[in-house]
Structure formats: C-alpha cells, structure tokens
Amino acid sequence: KTAKPSVNIIGAVDLAFHNQHDILKLKKLLADLGIEINLIIPQNCSVNSLKILTNAWINIVPYREIGLSTAEWLKENFNIPFITIATIGICETANFIREIQTILNNFNCSFEFEDYIDHQTRFVSQSAWFSKSIDCQNLTGKRAVVFGDATHSAAITKILTSEMGIKVVWAGTYCISEKDWFIEKVKDLCEEVLITQDHNLVGDLIAKT
C-alpha cells in the first residue's frame, strides 16, 4: 500500500454526463481531506500504470454504471474496500466523506471529518447558499420529472426533494441493469418510478406531466 491514505477513482470517462466537473470536484474534495490519488481509471491511465492499482487503500466508484464490477473484483481478489456513493448534493457528499472516514479508521488510522462537513455545508457549499436564497424558495412546491443514467437521476431526485423542497412526480433511468438499486434509492422520493429505454415513452410522459 501507499505510505499515506490513497484511492483509485474508477470509471472516469470524459464523454460521460458532467464527468469532467464531477472528477475535478472529487479530486479537490480528496485533497481537502488529505487523501492522495493513486490512479484515475481510465482517465490519464495507461496499461503500464495498472501495476500500481492495488497500492490504493480504497477504490472510489463515482458512477455505478461504469466502475462497479471492477471495484467488486478488486474487493474479492485484493480485499480493497470501495465506495459507490456519488458526491452529488450536500447530503450524499457528507455520507461519502463519513464512509471514507469509517474505512480509514478501520485501517487503524484516526480521522475525524465532521468539522469539515459542517464547515462546507454551512459556509462553502453553493448548494447550501442556493437552498436559502429567494430563487430556491420560489421553487418550493414546484413539480419536476427526472430521467437519465441511474447515478445522476437518483442523486438529482434526492437533491430536488430533500434539499430544495421540489416535488418529483416521477424519476426514471434507462440503465436497466441498475433497476433494483435505482428503485430502492428513489421509491420514497417520488410518486412513480420509470425504468425504460423507450425514448418515445419518456417523451410522452414528459409531455403529459
């Protein structure tokens, strides 16, 4: 293992939705926590780089659709723990940081990130600022629909309902392989859950909502 706590970020694909911003944000967050990055896969990574893959303490999977099976294999064969919580929204980012803290402390480290979470939530996060603004208050009680990949659709549904007070009429994804996970994540946050790859059906439901 690396001398200091480090992670692999698995599933960084430049053409994926919002990927470049998500990875930049994740890198900054890890730097704030004092955690080094071992590898980012496949971004800026060659086959020769993979020889140090197992040096990381933790694997981070920003998008279930891309990196989950790799992280599961590394857990099974090299006992590297992994995190699949997307750092999208105040609540899930806090949960992600607490999960890192738990795993690192299981390595007999002593990390405490609650003060950092509190400071970021109250004074730094733009989401926290926006949620208190008049613009956001004008959205309270409004209706919305959410559809996209499983990771982003679930995360945005939670932000709208839990952080902004917007009612999600239905939330859906085209990622059929993530059907069970997605339903579990959003079933209590919206009136209806849609799992489909039929874009015509999606368009018709949006038009009717």
- Please name the residues in contact with 84: beta carbons below 8 A apart, sequence gap of 6 or more: 61, 64, 68, 71
Q: Helix, strand, coil % (nearest 5) of the chain? A: 55, 20, 30
Helix (H) or strand (E) holding 9: strand 6-12
Backbone φ and ψ for 138, nearest 5 degrees, come out as -70, -20
Residues comprising the chain, all counted: 209
- The distance between the two most distant Cα atoms of the chain, rounded to a whole number of Å, is 57
Instruction: Point out the catalytic residue in the list 32, 115, 118, 135.
Output: 135
Q: Cα separation of 141 and 35, whole Å?
A: 40
135 is catalytic: yes
List residues with catalytic annotation.
135
